[in-house]
Amino acid sequence: MKLSYSYVFAVTVVCLGCGGGSGTRAGLGVGTTSTVGEARFTATGTPQDQTLAFEGGVSISSVAGASISSFEIFPAANLNNAPLYFVNDGALYSYCRGQVQLVYVSPAHYIYEADVSSDGKIYMNTLDPSSGYVFAKCNLDGTGYSVLVTGLDFDCDIHVSRDGSKIVYDYGNSNVTDANSDGTSPITIDENGYEGQFSPDGTKVSYVGAGDYQIWTESAQGGRSKQLTNTRSYQNYEPTYSPDGSTIICDLFPGGNSVGIGAYAAYGGTQGYPENFFSINVPDAYGPCVSPDGKYIGFLTSTSLNGPSSAAFQDLGGNSLTTIAPANEVIWPSYPVPKTFIGAGGAWYTSAAAGFLYSSYQPGFASLLAFTATTPSTATAKVTSGTGTGPVIYDLKANSITGLKYANGYFNAPVSITPSTTDVLVSIDSTTGAITAVAPFVAVRGSSFSESSGVGTVSCSAHFTGIWDAHGKNLAPAGASVLTLDTKKGGVVSVR
């Protein structure tokens, strides 16, 4: 079976140091298109650029002093860019690089089943206060909530196609239906099936046949179904495809208290029997999903049948078992789609910016900050401290910084600020690449802020007009004169 891909990416780094070092040069040249990590940008003019690199794979790149007419991210094919999502107690969480983060929770929308699309949207079976049990969708930050399908029960499966254009779902728990991603133009695939899943190319739907517990496939446009499996010894549940579409992985339930995970050739194989069993060293494993690089199996595990379950994953060889946290569903979406942040159709700016700070981590997207200025050629991004361990502190400067946006996380909506100042202090955690503080200030006689060190802290003094933290909260809406950061990650300790 084929469950792995290999990818080649051509990347030209602007300037790169190592181990906390830096590289810089004067100007990229007029109208130059360059790459740094997963980003590609076009700068018109002669910007100053610098990249800092740190142990652990964090790099922070800055470009300023010209018109940044485009900035795009092309996510590379690696596990660091593919969080494993899981549902627990009505909320959606993510696991990536050893960290569990709460993604979405709402007192009004308890999640029973969910999927996450490659463009960063949550599709969920939830109890809507106005419409009862529904299928709905929203952005990963919880914005843009809308109801897609009504008249459902709880615990109905929903999955989204790789390109995000279609959804397939159980209607009433015993009817496989696919539709456009906004819920329109539904097509019944099987009136008695459930647990439908799209093939990677979106042309087929695999599902479980009610009563026979076999895997069936049918065209996503409807038509005649084909029986894929023919196993008397096993009941089959929750089919999912390998990234290349050659293999279907599903639960195998032979009876008793034993649940396993097996794989079938997607075209039927030899008499429809499993071609491979995954060696998973836990008593019960079920609800599989496959990482988008085809190298890992995600699943639920429990110590006994119908007992409390946890999210887990391992490589295909049965090694490196990682148990994450309590969960009742695991989701591994496709790699994020490329995204334009600045330029025509840009998610942040549709016209040129004066500069940016871009952080990556092994090498996935960590954070981005972009700003505009009255005269872009006056913009600079100067590191004032922190090129070793701890936070990296920047002073962004221009004749007038007219706008600024920043976000930690590829899909998160940006925090928008209108500084109307000449300078902005930015603190970045050198261990994760996350932006921890953004503080516009008024420079006195052209000078920057002043710094003083304490025990585990660094204090920055200036006439700050506001201080925003990593989550976008303004901690000093009336202004402040002293910003104190911790020297480990650069988080805000206090403002006054």
**Mean pLDDT across the chain, nearest whole number?**
87
Residue 96's pLDDT is: 83
Listed residues 304, 331, 358: the one ending a domain: 331
Higher pLDDT, 323 or 390: 323
Is 371 found in the same domain as 283? no
Residue 80's pLDDT is: 63
Residue 279's pLDDT is: 75
Higher pLDDT, 66 or 115: 115
Is 368 found in the same domain as 277? no
Q: What are the pLDDT digits (tens) for 412-449?
A: 889 999 999 999 999 999 988 999 999 999 987 767 88
Higher pLDDT, 284 or 67: 67
70: pLDDT confidence band, cut at 50, 70 and 90?
very high
Residue 147's pLDDT is: 96
- pLDDT exceeds cutoff 60 at 161: yes
Domain CATH for 146: 2.120.10.30
19: pLDDT confidence band, cut at 50, 70 and 90?
very low
- pLDDT exceeds cutoff 80 at 9: no
Residue 79's pLDDT is: 64
- pLDDT exceeds cutoff 70 at 1: no
Residue 412's pLDDT is: 85
Domain hosting residue 306, numbered range: 83-331
Q: Is residue 256 part of a domain?
A: yes
Residue 492's pLDDT is: 97
271: pLDDT confidence band, cut at 50, 70 and 90?
low
- pLDDT exceeds cutoff 70 at 263: yes
Is 445 found in the same domain as 412? yes
Is 428 found in the same domain as 320? no
Q: What are the pLDDT digits (tens) for 182-222?
A: 999 999 999 989 999 999 999 999 999 988 889 999 999 98
Q: Is residue 2 part of a domain?
A: no
Q: How far, in Å, CA of 154 to CA of 144, rounded? A: 22
Positive/negative CA dihedral, 437, 442, 445, 446: positive
Q: Is residue 324 part of a domain?
A: yes
Listed residues 299, 331, 363: the one ending a domain: 331
Listed residues 314, 331, 348: the one ending a domain: 331
Residue 3's pLDDT is: 39
Higher pLDDT, 258 or 75: 75
Is 377 found in the same domain as 261? no
Is 283 found in the same domain as 403? no
Is 118 found in the same domain as 41? no
Q: Is residue 4 part of a domain?
A: no
Q: What is the mean pLDDT of residues 323-334?
A: 94
Is 487 found in the same domain as 361? yes
Is 87 found in the same domain as 71? no
Q: Is residue 474 part of a domain?
A: yes
Q: Is residue 12 part of a domain?
A: no
Q: Is residue 398 part of a domain?
A: yes
Domain count, the chain: 2
Is 324 found in the same domain as 203? yes
Is 423 found in the same domain as 325? no
Q: Is residue 7 part of a domain?
A: no
Predicted structure pTM score: 0.79
- pLDDT exceeds cutoff 50 at 338: yes
- pLDDT exceeds cutoff 50 at 14: no
Residue 443's pLDDT is: 84
Higher pLDDT, 385 or 152: 152
Is 396 found in the same domain as 320? no
Residue 17's pLDDT is: 29
